[in-house]
Structure formats: structure tokens, C-alpha cells
Amino acid sequence: MTRARSSSSPPALHARLLAWFDRFGRKDLPWQTNPTPYRVWVSEIMLQQTQVATVIPYYLRFIERFPDVDALACATLDEVLHLWTGLGYYARARNLHRAARIVCEHYHSELPRDINLLMQLPGIGRSTAGALLALAHGERHAILDGNVKRVLARFHAIEGWPGAPLMEKKLWALAETHLPATRLRDYTQAFMDLGATLCTRTQPACSRCPLTGDCAAHAAGRVMNFPAPQPRAAKPVRKITFVLLRNRAGAVRLMQRPPAGIWGRLWSFPECTHRTERKIQRWCESELGFIVAQVERHDPLRHTFSHFHLDILPVVAEVTGRRPAVMETCPAVWYNITQPDARGLAAPVKRLLLELAKHPARKIHDANGELRKTGPRGRSPQAPAVSGRARQTDF
């Protein structure tokens, strides 16, 4: 049910929002300086499902390495994934890289101004395309990211989960209705800022919100009821074993994952479903061709994805020989943990390699199964680009 308050009109909403933005809005974010279409595009992709504070250091490193779309298109995917390591949702990086090559090849290195053409590029949906055109060019397009959905759902007291098709259709219509005729760049940023700083999911600051006087959810005393949460089923749990193969020189075996599935094209450890030492030894010999003399189990850890939990058992296996008849089916390297290079890694792989480099002869987890913090006063250290140079030896 939609309940719009007649006391509010679209001009009232955008006028209040812009007045608030002039006083309190964020105007010094890195992508707001010289907001070229490319810089805005990179920021919008990174900001999908990720907070501003998390994105800023990744964005600065990314733009320094790839200052324009040509530099990004000419890079290897490994270089791109390396700079994305730790930011998560790696399909964003793969799509960004693929889209950059399309832009260079088909659009003379200029992002198209037509919203329909933008939406044909990998990783760009309707809201991202609208944000890009509004923020980079000041064009009149609505956006509907998570922050905007939450503000509109509360302002109009719209029942339901925003991801449901009917609910989303209503929210798009309202987002377009509220668009002002001018100052589209500021208005778009203001809407996102309001949701990120005041109209937050928990503990919204209604007393400081410029829209409180016309907010239907606030008038009904039901702010926390909007928007409705996504119906959730219990997340399934999958179990795998990470096999940290070490050769005589102390290098660790890494294999590149296939393009599809989790951590696509990232580098990871060989993995199997076996949990006992003897079965892991046999698997290493039959599937990888490595003769393993010793397997040391470490405490398990959990990595959570949006749709399932992944319980990982890390084991360190010392390689003593090789069966040359076994052929590997994907790219692999012996990774020298003391000489990292640019390579994309999944977050748990990066952290395990860092711990292995710091404490090669010790257990790398505490009794609770969590990765130990090795930085001073509990702060995690800055991890190097954890990946290594291939060595001439086979084991």
C-alpha cells in the first residue's frame, strides 16, 4: 500500500533536500574533484553495496594506476583484480574491465551519453547509468540505489521489500516524480548523502532530517518498519579444504580459478572436499601430481557470501616430489610469499598467505578459528599484494 502525503509536493522535497545539501552535503569526495564520466563511473561501480569509507582508498589507488579508460582497457585482468583485492564482489571488477575495452573499441574511448547505450555495457544498470549521467553531465535522470530506496520508502510509507518487482516499479516512478528541473548533480548526490548519513537503516537521525516534516513513516511513528527487510531463508553451508602446498624453497602453489563461479579469475589455493590427512595426501598425488610427505591441519575459518557460508579448512602440505604424468587443467604458479607481484586474490587467500609469510612455522589461526590479528593493538597490518613470481623448480 502506498500512502503519499498531500501536504508534500515534489518541489518541496527537492527544495528541502538541496537546501540541506548546501549546508551539510559531502562535497570533498575524491570522485567529486574533476568529475569526469570515467572517474564517476569507477566510483559508482565501487560504491555498489560498499560504503564510502571503504571505497575511498581503493578508488584512489585504482585511479592512480588507471587514470583513464584507455589505461584500464590496456591493463590485464590480473592487474585490475589485484587492485580490487579485498573490496569484494569481484564481478564488478571483471565487468568494469570488459566494459572499458568495449568503450575504447566501439565508442572512441568516450562513455556514451545515451542512457540505453550505457545500460548495454557490462555492469551498468539503470540506476548506475542514471547516476553517471546526472553526476558527470548534470542530466535529468533518476537513480534508485539502496539509500534512495530507503528514503523514498519511508517518506511515502510504502509497504514491502524494495527488491520486489512491484515495489521497485513504484519507487522508480516516485524517484522520477521528485526530480528537479535544475541542479541535478547536487540533487543526486544529496539524495545519496541523506540515506547514507541521516536516513540510515538503523538509528536514523530523524531530528536532523530535512524531510521529517513530510515523512509519512515518521508521522506514523513507524520509521523502522520501512522499508521491509528482504525475506530470508537460512544460508546453506559449504565446506572445502584449502591445500597450501609448499615446495622446498618455501613457495606456495596458487591456481587461477575459472571465469564463472565464486572468485572468478582470482588466484587461490588448490581445494578439495577431503578432511583427513591421508585422503588429502592421496588427492594431492592423484589430482595435482604432487607427492606430499606431511599435512598440517589448521583451525577452520568461515567466509560468508551473500547466499551461503563457506567453511574453509586450511592445511599446509609439504611437497617432496612430483608425478610428471599428471597435467594441471588451469594456470598455476609457485608463489614466492616474500616477493609479491600484482595478482588478484580472494580475501581469505590473501590473509592466509600473509599469515603464512609472517609465521611460516606456526599455526595461523587462534583457538576460535579466526585469523589472528598481527598488527599492533589488534589492528590488521596492511597486506602486500599477495601473489608471487613463478619459480623454475617444479616443487
C-alpha cell at 277: 590427512
Instruction: Given the residues 44, 168, 271, 328, select the one marked as catalytic.
Output: 44
165's CB contacts (< 8 A; 6+ apart) are none
User: Which pairs from 199-206 meet CB under 8 Å and 24+ separation?
Assistant: 199/147, 199/150, 199/151, 199/154, 201/150, 204/154
Q: Is 44 a catalytic residue?
A: yes
Listing DSSP states for 279-300 in one string gives HHHHHIIIII-EEEEEEEE---
Q: Is residue 266 a contact partner of residue 257, using CB atoms and an 8 Å limit? A: yes
Q: Which residue has the cell 539502496?
A: 146
Distance in angstroms between the alpha carbons of the first and the last residue of the chain:
65
State how far the Cα of 81 lies from the Cα of 87, in Å rounded to an integer: 10
Which grid cell is 326?
A: 599428471
Helix H or strand E encompassing 315? strand 309-322
User: Within 13 Å and on the Cβ side, how many CA atoms surround 255?
Assistant: 15
Taking the C-alpha atoms of residue 156 and residue 163, their distance in angstroms, rounded to an integer, is: 16
Cell representation of residue 95 = 565487468
Name the residues annotated as catalytic: 44
